[in-house]
Amino acid sequence: MEKQNSSYRWIVFGSVLFSYFLIVSQRTAPGLITNQLMKDFNITAAVVGLLTSIQFFAYSGLQIPIGLLSDRLGPNGFLIVGTLLNGLGTVVYSTASNEYVLFLSRLMVGTGDAAIWVNLVLILSQWFKVGEFIKLLGFAGMAGSLGSLLATVPFSAWISASGWRIPFLSSGIMLCLSGILLYFVLVIRPRQLFKNISETKKPQHKKREKTSVILKRMITTRQAWATFLCHFGVMGTYVGFIGSWGVPFGMDIYHMSRSAASQLLMYGLLGAIFGAPIISWFTSRRETIKGTYLSIQFIIFLSWLTFFLYAGKPPFFMSVILFIATGFGSAAGSLTFAIVRKSFPMTEVGAISGFANTGGFISAVLLPFLFGNVLDHFHHAPVNVGYQYGFLIPVLFSFIAVIGGIMVKEKQKNKQSQLSA
């Protein structure tokens, strides 16, 4: 029995997506307590932005090394260790007594998180055929959006009822248990079901290329840079904003409570939840990914530009529409990895996926910190002024994604060749 034809692959799919669901919730949940952290630890907006950025800095800095190592050593161990480290970091975060422990905990979370998406992509590549892969990437994105949705109204209500420490402690414990589950699902059980797969699938005589050769080819390939720039603008702007300044935006601009402000994020996440399967389904029925992706990139760019043109304070109903639009657009981030899968050999998918993913999270590193500095700079001005000029950052970043979309080169394949790939 082969992996790609076995019913067990759906257990793998469900277990991996459940872990990703929990992990993404902790990627954005700290944004719910931005103001609370500033009060409890007596820190500025810029420090909070740096706190968010350090998590994404660790994530982005490790993407390429983990991609290369995963191509060589396999993705299972990295996914398991990443999940456990994410859980332990969240537990430490919940018990922090000062800002230095906060920084350490977010560094742990970012390091663990760095091992998740690239290895999720590789695991799906191993267990599913290409025809299934593009569709399932959309559902993986949907699982991530549901995790972010958990970190809006439900998590906010929990925080309001019990304080912020208990919810984060509980989430950390759940992530540790999820890591243990992954060890059983990805390592123990497959050894029993597919005893001879690893031996028969391993290339016995093919010499591996040097890492330096792979890296040189990667950084000199237009297609690799196109995916990097696409992800920089599509994912980084959305993740960076909702993970740090989305809730404060609702509280400062519309004078909403924390729970009510988290509903703004919920609108965006609903857009992402519905966008993921719609975009993947629509794309899987077409010969081209580029046209769909480029159109969505323009929508994202225009949405952020509208925030700026309305001086940082659009009418509330328009903000709802814009959050939905940016959320829907972020769901197209999975197309970055569909392009990688179609453009590069399997032996390089991990490394190129890591490189592309680095783009998204460099953006997510820069945006919270820069946005926080802009808000601090305009501290004495009307509050919307700081947000207005802050929105220039995602405007610029999303325009970079448009450039990346234009750079994408796509080989036209007939359906028969795609199915046989």
Helix (H, G, I), strand (E, B) or coil at 310: coil
Mean pLDDT, residues 43-59 taken together: 78
**How many folded domains does the chain comprise?**
1
CATH number for the domain harbouring residue 137: 1.20.1250.20
Residue at token pair 């919307």: 384
d(CA 403, CA 398): 9
Q: How far apart are CA 30 and CA 178, in angstroms?
A: 20
How far apart, in whole angstroms, are the C-alpha atoms of residue 264 and residue 59?
A: 26
Q: What is the pLDDT of residue 33?
A: 83
Question: Residue 205 domain-assigned?
Answer: no
**What pLDDT band is residue 34 in, cutting at 50, 70 and 90?**
confident
Let me know if residue 139 belongs to a domain: yes
Decide if 203 is inside a domain: no
Tell me the C-alpha distance between 113 and 83, whole Å.
Answer: 7
What is the predicted pLDDT for the residue at 184?
94
- Digit-coded pLDDT (tens) for 285-320: 777 788 889 999 999 999 999 999 998 899 999 999
Average of per-residue pLDDT across 235-256: 84
Which of 152-156, 240-244, 396-400 tops mean pLDDT? 396-400
- The answer to whether position 168 is within a domain reads yes
42 to 39, 45, 46, 95: CA distances (angstroms): 5, 10, 12, 17
Q: What is the model's pLDDT at position 82?
A: 94
d(CA 371, CA 188): 45
* The pLDDT of residue 306: 95
Classify residue 409: in a domain, yes or no. Answer: yes
| Gap between the Cα atoms of 266 and 96, Å rounded | 27
User: Could you tell me if residue 100 is inside a domain?
Assistant: yes
Q: Note whether residue 1 is domain-resident.
A: no
Q: Is residue 201 part of a domain?
A: no
User: Domain residues for 399?
Assistant: 7-196+210-420
